[in-house]
Structure 1
């Protein structure tokens, strides 16, 4: 027997099937255009160099206006400060290949920023070596973690303006070294971390040395080990720690038809990692142009009079997520709607794939709401699966959850795996589950 859920102006049929209500279709050509626009080179990775975040914000303000959203702050804008380390100028790494002891007699291999190396998020600036000079880089022998004699030899070593290369798996072990040895390693001009994949992030601090992440496969290809010398290098890193950089959240609202002083909230962060050097930029198509596109499609849906819910719907495009959930934390500390009046919040991030379904963070925290979401999906066959996770501080729902607001964070699984790298591009996104997630969200929110 089917069960009937009455939800004011809408009704859903569960059990044997699902009867449609309103217009559920979204414009997939518009979705792709939104993602391509946000991930385009002229957005500079939506970061904090060359006004990338400001360009993205201007685009979203225009879209909010076109949709007729009511601003909850002047020009939709809630400004807030953050501190972030940036790489606005040159990013260069040249390896001396062939004649490590006499680099001027060998040849130079220029590594490509973004695809072969990146700056570590906390890297300081530096210019080391040049066309006719190079600085030595040594391999950190793993014996140093267990052998006192090896530690003493390293402690006595002079850096000569150079530094050390260490495998990523060994980085956590640095904290186990004696403090004088940790300080000696920190006194080197450079630290290279050899990684299996380049994964960028942001930092609010700046180290006193140049720190680069280099693909281990590239390092092994172009270097050799002669005694403990791995390579000689010339490096240029232009890094700037920006204090109190002003960025923003963007907030719009559609008033409810019956209870406008209660709220459903839909959120997605629009910022990303920006640029690194003058050529490499991080498109952030899946993370999170896809979630931002979903937010805009939902706003277009609820802007139609026949789809307007009883509660007011608030749309928040957060800045500063990649810098440590800064924008959402600021909003929770300075809310533009009363937090106790939020009936439910859905945070949208990484929605560009989905062949394996979706994961729901807080699904185990809010089992009744999660079961309802599952029932809608079983009836409508929107996505292949809906999996529950517990609480996690991995996106902008987190500080709302900590403040007692019921919230889910939805993300898709399966498909392309590009993440926090230069390969997260709009053309690579299959958007496999995008339409299904849209329909599932509208069904779920209609049940409040």
Structure 2
């Protein structure tokens, strides 16, 4: 909780309204909001879902109680736009087979997860390991060159190689690599983390698949490394060995396994689904400076619920930031002396699908862009042992201000920073608007887990 208080302290100080006062911030109210937003009532808050819309209405009602000015469409708090939407309705399963009998049965949310833009299907076929799932003959690299994957289940690394060929980046999203597999005849795709990486990723819920064609008949899962090794067991080989061989030679090492798997996913895809950013304004008290704006933002969306049994609550990512935005609004509204500049309290949709809500706002601002003088973005601020202030190399003056404030308080920030924006702050940063991005260090240990 101290980490969130540090964020509050900075914002309060930066606006020169009042000294840091713990009474302004109600930690019980903060936790109540985080707990509520991450509850089953909102179903994981996938943008476009009934649960997200319910969460958006709740936050808008809290804005209304504070008598904040609605800054969305048609005099309301919502700024509407459309997004791709894929509801993983289930059933979803992954089994290894011995003839018609199940030899290994795996649990969704533990041994595997469903990719956010998975297609539907029920596939029983041999598994073929295809390395990184890259097919670039022009660069003398093709994981599909010496294997037949027609009608098969393809297993590939989720992450791209850490090395390059001909000094070229791979630039190959998960969605694009799924399309490559499909174009080679694959009936399903299993993504798995690279076992030789420092902290191999567990199967997570995610809708960050990148741009590309939606293949509605191609089931796609992320599996645990242990499951991949079960698949390779009949070939007497381990995933670590295959990664080592590929990375050391920079050549494909694809193999057809002797294992038959059964993959089933049922999903409902919509090309365009209506969703919304939630926007409110506290107008500044100075007759001139009121036309200048500071954006205080977080994202409200998360991953949703899969197969009606695995919910991704998103307490840290980013119910924590959303709760902080609301509590800051309450703190500022409770003061007799209002800030001289206006504050936009922003809750974005579709961060998880690629900052789409933030990008939409940057292209369709509710106030002139030239009147927005800074943005404070908060994402994953509840878990971890210290605070990072991102984008500090792009805005060193703002970063130093944060460091100075922290030095005289709880000393929670670390020196690590970067340039080029960060999370939902990036689109406005790319428009030339200074931004500080608050995130706890090592906050991703439980990222996108049920």
Structure 1-normalised TM-score? 0.77
Shift of 1:286: 0.7
- CA 1:48 to 1:341, structure 2 compared with 1: closer, same or farther past 3 Å? closer
Q: Distance in 1 between matches of 2:355 and 2:89?
A: 22
What SS class does the counterpart of residue 35 from structure 1 fall into? Answer: helix
Shift of 1:295: 0.5
Q: Within the alignment, does 1:300 sit opposite 2:330 as a pair?
A: yes
- CA 1:109 to 1:382, structure 2 compared with 1: closer, same or farther past 3 Å? same
Q: Distance in 2 between matches of 1:367 and 1:90?
A: 50
Structure 1: runs of 5+ lacking an equivalent: 1-5, 12-19, 129-133, 423-448
Q: Which residue of the other structure, out of 263, 266, 285, is the alignment partner of 1:235?
A: 263
Asked if 1 retains the 8 angstrom alpha-carbon contact of 2:86 and 2:267, the reply is: yes
CA offsets 1:367-426 (integer angstroms, 9 cap, x no match): 11211221111122352535322114x41111111112111111111467111222xxxx
- CA 1:167 to 1:368, structure 2 compared with 1: closer, same or farther past 3 Å? closer
Q: Distance in 2 between matches of 1:344 and 1:46?
A: 27
Q: Distance in 2 between matches of 1:35 and 1:206?
A: 33
Q: Within the alignment, does 1:32 sit opposite 2:60 as a pair?
A: no
- Counterpart of 2:343? 313
- CA 1:234 to 1:49, structure 2 compared with 1: closer, same or farther past 3 Å? farther
Q: Distance in 2 between matches of 1:233 and 1:192?
A: 11
Q: Distance in 2 between matches of 1:390 and 1:194?
A: 30
- CA 1:315 to 1:39, structure 2 compared with 1: closer, same or farther past 3 Å? same
What SS class does the counterpart of residue 351 from structure 1 fall into? Answer: coil
Q: Within the alignment, does 1:373 sit opposite 2:402 as a pair?
A: yes
- CA 1:384 to 1:135, structure 2 compared with 1: closer, same or farther past 3 Å? same
CA offsets 1:210-251 (integer angstroms, 9 cap, x no match): 222110113324762259434222222112332221000111
Shift of 1:29: 1.4
Asked if 2 retains the 8 angstrom alpha-carbon contact of 1:49 and 1:274, the reply is: no
Asked if 2 retains the 8 angstrom alpha-carbon contact of 1:199 and 1:421, the reply is: yes
Asked if 1 retains the 8 angstrom alpha-carbon contact of 2:293 and 2:371, the reply is: yes
Q: Within the alignment, does 1:265 sit opposite 2:308 as a pair?
A: no
Pairing 1:19-418 to 2, within 5 Å after superposition: 20=19, 25-48=24-47, 50-73=49-72, 74-96=75-97, 99=98, 103-104=99-100, 106-128=101-123, 134-140=124-130, 153-154=146-147, 157=148, 159=150, 161-168=151-158, 186-195=184-193, 196=200, 197-202=202-207, 203=209, 205-207=213-215, 209-221=218-230, 224-226=233-235, 228-258=256-286, 259-306=289-336, 308-355=338-385, 357-392=386-421, 394-414=422-442, 417-418=445-446
Q: Distance in 2 between matches of 1:382 and 1:170?
A: 37
Q: Distance in 2 between matches of 1:80 and 1:121?
A: 20
Shift of 1:45: 0.9
Structure 2-normalised TM-score? 0.77
Asked if 2 retains the 8 angstrom alpha-carbon contact of 1:187 and 1:209, the reply is: no
Instruction: Kindly name which structure, 1 or 2, has the bigger radius of gyration based on alpha carbons.
Output: 1
Asked if 1 retains the 8 angstrom alpha-carbon contact of 2:48 and 2:274, the reply is: no
| RMSD (Å) for aligned C-alpha atoms | 3.3
Q: Distance in 2 between matches of 1:325 and 1:141?
A: 29
What SS class does the counterpart of residue 58 from structure 2 fall into? Answer: helix
CA offsets 1:111-150 (integer angstroms, 9 cap, x no match): 111211112334221122xxxxx422234479x9999999
